[in-house]
């Protein structure tokens, strides 16, 4: 048993109950998972693993999908969520094609929201982390995040904001027993070679 978590079959099990933000993300993923793969990145990774701070948005990487597939996803999302960028799926799909983010929140609410970030191989770093997921589980809520060492380095080397540095410090401390030095070496090279 490690501090606040354990590892079972490669999945990190966080030992706490679900909070309201977890439930919001789970509800969104319950729909998204039926239509697409995904990866949750940035602040929610730290918050989900015990860092106490608020957030208004949860960043989620989603591979660019065909128009028909997006329309099907959007039709189902509309039952519980609304999109900041508009209501017409054909307009929203332009954002997807242009690799611009969409934001979704619960109906009649502004926050929290999901920042839906379309990616393809041209976004090298995002595609790299997307292609190397780490599973995390809180109670019955299982989701995918980047490799921990990559997430830490991305915050330290690319984002560099006060919040990001504090997030990285939390991850380094919380997961100190399982972080691998060789992963830091490999991922640092990837990040420095491919920039943002």
Indicate the domain borders of the chain.
Answer: 10-147
Q: Is the pTM of this model over 0.75?
A: yes
CA atoms within 13 A on the CB side of 45: 32
Q: pLDDT for 76-106, tens place per residue?
A: 999 999 999 999 999 999 999 999 999 999 9
User: CB–CB of 195/125 below 8 Å?
Assistant: yes
CATH number for region 10-147: 3.30.460
Residues whose CB is less than 8 angstroms from the CB of residue 37 and which lie 6 or more positions away in sequence, other chains included? 62, 63, 130
Is the per-residue pLDDT at 1 higher than 50?
Answer: no
Q: Which residue has the tokens 């990774």?
A: 45
Q: What is the pLDDT of residues 104-116, one digit of tens each?
A: 999 999 999 999 9
């Amino acid at each position: 048993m490690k501090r606040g978590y354990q590892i079972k079959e490669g999945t990190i099990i966080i030992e706490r109950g679900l909070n309201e933000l977890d439930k919001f993300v789970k509800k969104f993923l319950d729909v998204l998972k039926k239509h697409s793969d995904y990866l949750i990145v940035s602040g929610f990774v730290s918050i989900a693993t015990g860092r106490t701070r608020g957030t208004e948005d949860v960043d989620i990487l989603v591979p660019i999908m065909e128009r028909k597939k997006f329309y099907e996803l959007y039709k189902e999302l509309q039952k519980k969520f609304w999109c900041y960028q508009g209501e017409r799926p054909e307009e929203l799909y332009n954002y997807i094609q242009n690799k611009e983010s969409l934001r979704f929140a619960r109906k009649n609410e502004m926050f929290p929201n999901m920042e839906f970030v379309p990616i393809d191989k041209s976004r090298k770093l995002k595609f790299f982390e997307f292609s190397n997921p780490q599973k995390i589980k809180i109670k019955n809520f299982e989701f995918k995040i980047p490799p921990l060492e990559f997430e830490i380095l991305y915050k330290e080397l690319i984002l560099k904001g006060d919040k990001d540095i504090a997030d990285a410090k939390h991850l380094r401390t919380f997961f100190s027993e399982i972080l691998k030095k060789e992963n830091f070496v490999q991922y640092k090279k990837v990040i420095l070679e491919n920039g943002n």
